[in-house]
Amino acid sequence: MSRFAWLGPLLMLAAVALIFILIGATRRSALLIAFIIVFSASMIYGIVRALRRRIELPPEPAPKTRGMLLEWAAPVYDFYCPWIGLGRGFRKLTLRYAGVRAGEHILDVGCGTGVLTRIAAEAVGPDGSVVGIDPGPKMIGIARKNAALENSRAVFRLAAIEDLPFEDNRFDCVLSSFMMHHLPPDLKVKGLAEVLRVLKPGGRLLVVDIDKPANPLWWLLFWPLLLWSFTRDQVSGRLRDDFLRAGFPGVERAGGRFGLLSFWKAYKGK
């Protein structure tokens, strides 16, 4: 996986647009046609490539959870994330909000294919450690394969947030990226309490997830999320309460993105 893979579609876009300009199209229509062609071709290429990839499932048993898995999307997950704004830049922003430093011990809960986990492993360096957990066998299979391909020090385990297989006070920082909305309301509180248990005194949790839309236009798209118990509390702006119910002494909204996502930061007391 190259860091510069995104350059491919851009170069293709320029080349196709140039061909259309040379055969007489206006610049604007050439760009539009080139965009449609390159976008469709990239989508088809990405889907076919992802579906042909062999996923080696972990040999250990998967934990039972009432959380919503994304196993059906696992093969194409890495391909689609950058298209919806969750590329490497967004992951680095997440780590900046978390304040991840060299030498720290980090846990990424609901790590999926482990993109953020691997970038966190680069950030902590050889003196630190990063573990990603997810209850989805396909997600963990892909995360391990990607880590091996990139020579990443990140380690991946099959586990669920509500029953973390770690001793108390182990991690400096826990990351949760787009995972909270995969949990029913009671598991959010139970999972956050587990996170609090495994954090060192003074350790921190960084959650990035869907929040109440700041721009009313988002409601045109996201009103169905009010109908589902997993997301209702978040789009109603009530996720903050879950941190306090789980035992965190406080929580701050450290920032936001797209008028829809919030970065939440909560500390364990010393």
Ligand X SMILES: C[S@@+](CC[C@H](N)C(=O)[O-])C[C@H]1O[C@@H](n2cnc3c(N)ncnc32)[C@H](O)[C@@H]1O
* Site residues, ligand X (CB under 6 A): 65, 67-70, 109-112, 115-116, 134-136, 139, 160-162, 177-179, 182-183
CB of 143 to ligand X, least distance (A): 9
Burial class (CB in 10 A: 0-12, 13-18, 19+), 111: buried
CB of 109 to ligand X, least distance (A): 5
CB of 31 to ligand X, least distance (A): 31
**Which CB atom, from 80 or from 218, has the smaller least distance to ligand X?**
80
The residue nearest ligand X at its CB is 67
CB of 222 to ligand X, least distance (A): 15
Please name which of 117, 50, 86 lies closest in space to residue 209, comparing C-alpha atoms. 86
**Which CB atom, from 147 or from 160, has the smaller least distance to ligand X?**
160
Sheet strands (E) in 39-168? 105-109, 129-134, 155-158
Please state whether beta strands 199-210 and 171-177 pair in parallel, antiparallel, or not at all (unpaired): parallel
Place of tokens 């789009």: 235
Burial class (CB in 10 A: 0-12, 13-18, 19+), 108: buried
**Which CB atom, from 20 or from 264, has the smaller least distance to ligand X?**
264
**Which CB atom, from 26 or from 72, has the smaller least distance to ligand X?**
72
- The total of other beta-carbon atoms located within 10 Å of residue 57's CB is 13
CB of 42 to ligand X, least distance (A): 20
Q: 159 forms bridges with which residues in the sheet? A: none
CB of 252 to ligand X, least distance (A): 21
**Which CB atom, from 9 or from 63, has the smaller least distance to ligand X?**
63
Place of tokens 């055969």: 23
* Whether the Cβ atoms of residue 226 and residue 238 lie closer than 8 Å to each other: no
- CB proximity list for 166: less than 8 A, separation 6 or greater: 107, 131, 198
**Which CB atom, from 135 or from 141, has the smaller least distance to ligand X?**
135
